[in-house]
Amino acid sequence: MTLSLLFDAANLGLQYGLLAVGVFLSFRILQVPDLTVDGSFCLGMAVAAVMSVAGHPVAGLVCGALAGGLAGVVTGFLMTKARINPLLAGIITMTGLYTVNITVLGGPNVSLISAPKAYASLQGLASSALGLTLDKDMARFVLALLVTAVVIALLALFFRTELGLSVRATGDNESMVRASSINADAMKVGTIALSNAMVGLSGALLAQYQGFADVSSGSGMIVIGLASVIIGELFGGRRSVTAGLVCAVVGSVVYRVIIQVALSLDVLNANSLKLVSAVIVALFLAAPAFASSVRRSRQRHARRRQAPAGPDADAARAEAQGAGAPEAGEPAMVEVRDVTKTFGAGTALEHEVLRGVSLTLRPGEFACMIGSNGAGKSTLLNAIAGEFLTDGGSIVVGGRDVTFDPDFRRARSVSRVFQDPMRGTSPNLTVAENVALAYLRSRGNGHADLRFAMSKSNRAFIREQLAGLGFGLEERLDDKVGLLSGGQRQAVSLLMCTIGSPDLLLLDEHTAALDPLAAERVMQLTQRIVRERGIATVMVTHNMGQALSVGDRTLVMDEGRIVADVSSAERAGMGVDDLLALYRSRTGEELDSDEVLLSE
């Protein structure tokens, strides 16, 4: 590829640079994928073309930006006032703009061959003021560079103002912004308008660059903008807002160079440009997930090679059973052996969360776990549930090694009730549908099939199971779960997790988010279900009274280790003060009262 072609590609990429800036504002700052871009780009192009034909090319650039901003205002109002989904709001505006653009152009396209251009004014200014002679291509490049530089400088200054900080905060945490007396809707409308003003200005520059405007020119602009933003982030676009703005323009130039290289090598023809754009966006968006998947796969293979096998594995497992080990002839239901996990390894934020944790549970055994915040309780439950691959150790449930199984495979033998009642159920499915989903998936091979989920017999069975909860839910089979109270919803979640009689039940402070009465009822229900179904259970709690009165054992965690394992016989005469004293003797620290509910 010649230097001339390379320059042409860079020049064209610079014309699209503000398109990338506009997409950056909506996609990264506001975190809204705004599809208005396809329409507002063409609108800016149409307005600039018509005004250039009328003899006002410089004013055409300004008016093109204003027209794009006006289109953004329409989308913003649809999003905020009409409460329309952002994607749909953008599609609606983009669709309507097609007619607007044809009307502005007065037809499908307009030629600017004989019309004055803004870069021609720049050529005259450079010649008269500086004595420089700029050819057409260089003048177009300099014009785009100057406009882009001025816009980025102004935007960088804007985002350092209070208003700019408010815009950034709206994209990060809208609830916080509203609680800070900031009008989040106004921030959204203003940012979407600003984003599309940049897009419209880019379209206006391109119209004068290529010498014509066409009603179909905006097709696929959102993909080009996203590709530019994503490529630009490879150059450090995530470090700050200013870096993001600059790198978005750099990404636009690089993207065009990539396309030109592919064309020069005959890898593709001009008709393939849209496909290539889509592929580039998909590849760059998927790259982090692919890289993470490769890392996990390598970790699994490395761990498998290091894991003991055969008689050595059996001996290691027997050694790990330690405290609370099953009696002779009684197989363990759960065996956690020397599990370790470090987050952020090799970085300044490295934190060893689990440090060789070992735990064994008999079938039907119920263990309560306490510890201060950050002790590793929830992380241990996450490790057992398979939310991440541990760095070392092994996990065996029901006689099967699940150390390397992903979470969805473990879910057939390991069930979990979360602290938040919202996480364990589907709010837009009915009570009966939620339970049916858990019940049907617990049978057979665990895969969904084409059987009717709500047959007469299944509905009768589900009603019977709900009646056993004692919450009156058998009379609300067809109510959406989102309408239930927190206690009722947690009861449904508990039934869903135990209806298939899993080998292990994990309870992560599952009553902490409920009011006292509901918490007591759910706790009583939990004990009854675990006892009747004989499910091995680990319950994390901050309630010291529960830790001593519920289940068969009390486990104490501190700094990623189980530092005490109190059997049923040992805790029979213990009180809260005794348990606090035990914690103090094992850790050398006090269990702060603001971290624990000291209820008997």
Q: For 447, which DSSP code?
A: -
What is the average pLDDT across 48-56? 94
**Is the same domain home to 553 and 567?**
yes
Residues 6+ apart with CB under 8 A from 362: 324, 326, 330, 332, 333, 536
pLDDT tens profile 284-297:
778 777 877 787 77
**Is the same domain home to 427 and 395?**
no
Residue 309 confidence (pLDDT): 54
Strand-pairing partners, residue 110, are 213
Residue 313 has pLDDT above 80, yes or no: no
Q: Which is higher by pLDDT, 414 or 439? A: 414
Residue 168 lies in a domain: yes
Residue 299 lies in a domain: no
Q: Which is higher by pLDDT, 3 or 307? A: 3
Residue 292 lies in a domain: no
Neighbours of 111 (CB within 10 A): 12
Q: What SS3 class is residue 44? A: helix
**Is the same domain home to 543 and 437?**
no
**Is the same domain home to 364 and 423?**
no
Residue 379 has pLDDT above 90, yes or no: yes
Q: In 13-166, where do the E strands start and end?
A: 109-111
408 burial level (CB within 10 Å; 0-12, 13-18, 19+)? exposed
Residue 529 lies in a domain: no
Strand-pairing partners, residue 414, are 504
pLDDT tens profile 10-50:
999 999 999 999 999 999 999 988 999 999 999 999 999 99
Residues 6+ apart with CB under 8 A from 186: none
Could you write out the DSSP letters of every residue in 291-312? Answer: HHHHHHHHHHHHHHHHS--THH
Residue 275 has pLDDT above 90, yes or no: no
Residue 350 confidence (pLDDT): 87
Average pLDDT over the chain, rounded to whole?
86
Residue 509 lies in a domain: no
Q: Report the CATH number that the domain containing residue 418 is assigned in CATH.
A: 3.40.50.300
Say how far apart CA 432 and CA 423 lie, in whole Å: 17
Residue 440 lies in a domain: yes
Q: Residue 184: which domain range? A: 3-273
Residue 243 has pLDDT above 60, yes or no: yes
Q: Of the candidates 217, 248, 273, which is a domain's last residue?
A: 273
**Is the same domain home to 170 and 82?**
yes
**Is the same domain home to 482 and 544?**
no
Residue 273 has pLDDT above 80, yes or no: no
**Is the same domain home to 134 and 151?**
yes
**Is the same domain home to 459 and 487?**
yes
pLDDT tens profile 163-203:
999 999 999 988 888 887 889 999 999 999 999 999 999 99
Say how far apart CA 20 and CA 245 lie, in whole Å: 8
Say how far apart CA 164 and CA 170 lie, in whole Å: 10
Q: Report the CATH number that the domain containing residue 234 is assigned in CATH.
A: 1.10.3470
**Is the same domain home to 123 and 168?**
yes
**Is the same domain home to 393 and 473?**
no
**Is the same domain home to 364 and 407?**
yes
Residue 518 lies in a domain: no
Q: Of the candidates 273, 305, 324, which is a domain's last residue?
A: 273
Measured CA angle at 303 (ends 302, 305), to 5 deg: 65
Residue 544 confidence (pLDDT): 85
Residue 443 lies in a domain: yes
What is the average pLDDT across 139-163? 94
Q: Which is higher by pLDDT, 558 or 322? A: 558
Residue 317 has pLDDT above 50, yes or no: no
Q: Of the candidates 244, 273, 302, which is a domain's last residue?
A: 273
Element containing residue 202 per DSSP (H, E): helix 184-210
Could you write out the DSSP letters of every residue in 469-516? Answer: TTSSGGG-TTSBGGGS-HHHHHHHHHHHHHTT--SEEEEESTTTTS-H
Q: What SS3 class is residue 316? A: helix
* Structure token digits, residue 101: 């653009």
How much of the chain, in percent, has pLDDT values that exceed 90? 51
User: What is the tally of structural domains in the chain?
Assistant: 3
Residue 127 has pLDDT above 80, yes or no: no
**Is the same domain home to 378 and 422?**
no
Q: For 551, which DSSP code?
A: S
pLDDT tens profile 380-424:
999 999 988 898 899 999 999 999 888 888 888 899 999 888 888
